[in-house]
Copies of this chain bind each other. A is one copy, B any other.
Amino acid sequence: MLLGKVVGTLVATRKEESLDGLKFLVLKQLDMEGNETGGYRVAADAVGAGLGEVVLYATGSAARQTKYTHQRPCDGVIMAIVDQVEVDGKVTYDKSEAV
């Protein structure tokens, strides 16, 4: 899994039927210190993530292992909202202190 920051939304009315009801969010990819790496990903939201939140997302077939994404043509899912990341003994991200 990798870290991402929810920065946007994507609207698509014409789509594969089975995608109805799925919410697509735009993520900026983050490194483990919480810095943006330049990459992005569109992911289905399985946890009710909000704009600005740092999340954990999974790609590939793992993205279909939530009740929202099961058997849908979806290769990326947000499956956790991150509270805290600690690297080398330092807290590199803390949701309660994030602006």
Residues of chain A having any CB pair with chain B under 8 Å: 1-3, 7-16, 18-19, 24, 26, 28, 31-32, 40-43, 46-48, 56, 58-66, 69, 71-77, 79-88, 92
Contacts and interface: CB of A to CB of B under 8 A. Distances in A.
A12 B75 contact: no
Given A1-B41, A65-B18, A80-B19, A32 B24 contact: no
A42 B28 CA distance: 16
B59 A12 contact: no
19 contacts: A1-B41, A2-B41, A7-B32, A8-B86, A8-B92, A10-B82, A13-B81, A14-B47, A14-B48, A16-B46, A19-B79, A26-B85, A58-B75, A59-B60, A60-B62, A62-B64, A63-B73, A63-B75, A65-B72
B79 A15 contact: yes
